[in-house]
Every structure is written in structure tokens, then in C-alpha cells.
Amino acid sequence: MARVKYTDADVDVMARMMRAEAEGEGRLGMLMVGNVIVNRLKANCLDFKDLRSIRDVIFQVQGGNYSFEAVQKGNVFYNRAREVEKKLARETLKFWREHPSKYALWYFNPYGECPPTWYNQPFTGQYKEHCYYEPIADTCEGAYLW
């Protein structure tokens, strides 16, 4: 059983997002970005309440801006998703979860050292250039229930 419901269109847009955000970090980096997308959909807490689809997560607006830099800058649409990225997107949608993105709801590239917190949430680890942050358990129980 898949972690979330999805369509072929969801696979395509998620694969494009994974490529746009982490192509330079290889297969594992793209999987981690995909995992954060799925985590945001599953968590239903904090800034991620009432998101009902992969498209809702990817095109979410917070504070007047899109949540993901690749959507803000438009580079999620520069390249079509290749079959390799679609395969990675399906893996993440169906089952893939791994530290440091296992429960992470945020990631970013600080172009330096990872700060110990991000939006008051703890640092869980780094993969290449991206720092990952998961919610404090009592602020987002939904992130840890599945």
C-alpha cells in the first residue's frame, strides 16, 4: 500500500520537483526531497494543515511565496521529468524513508553550516548541501504516527 494516494500527474510534478531541487545531490538527495514532500502531506500540522494532494504541497503558498524555491523561481518547469526521476518519485510515494529526511518537514541549503534549528525545529542531519529539520514531537504528532 502506498504512503499517500497519488496519480500519474502527481508522480510527474513530484519527479520534476525532486530533479529541480536536488539533481546535483544524486539519487539519494532526490529521494530525500521527495520524502519531505510526502511528509508534509501526511503530517497535517503546523504550516502543513489541510494539504490534500501532492500538488497542494508543491504549490503551497506561505507568507505570500511558494514554499519551495524551485516553484518560486520556476525551475521546476524547466525540465521534463525523466523516467529515472519518476521511478524515484514512485519509490518515495510508496515506501521510501531514510534519515535524515525520515520525519523531516523542512530542508534548505544554507551555503554554509547547518543551523541547529530552523523555524524553531531541530536539525536532524545533513546530506550533501541540504540540511533537514523535523518537527518537535509535541508540535506535530502527525509527523510521527506512520
- For the chain, helix, strand, coil in percent to 5 are 50, 15, 40
What pLDDT is attached to residue 63?
A: 87
Sorted by sequence, the CB contacts under 8 Å of residue 10 that are 6+ apart come out as 53, 54, 55, 93
Measured distance CA(135)–CA(123) in Å, rounded: 9
- The label of the residue with cell 525545529 reads 121
Q: What is the DSSP letter of 63?
A: T
Q: For residue 53, give Cα distances in angstroms to 1, 12, 39, 78, 83.
A: 17, 13, 12, 22, 21
Q: What is the CATH number of domain 8-144?
A: 1.10.10.2520
Distance of CA 127 to the CA centre of its chain: 13
What pLDDT is attached to residue 77?
A: 76
**Contact (Cβ atoms closer than 8 angstroms) between residue 52 and residue 34:** no
Q: Residue-wise pLDDT tens for the chain (146 aa)?
A: 789 999 999 999 999 999 999 999 999 999 999 999 999 999 999 999 999 999 999 999 998 999 998 998 887 778 889 999 999 999 999 999 999 999 999 999 988 999 999 989 999 999 999 999 999 988 998 888 76
Q: For residue 49, give Cα distances in angstroms to 44, 45, 53, 87, 142.
A: 4, 5, 12, 28, 10
In this prediction the pTM is 0.94
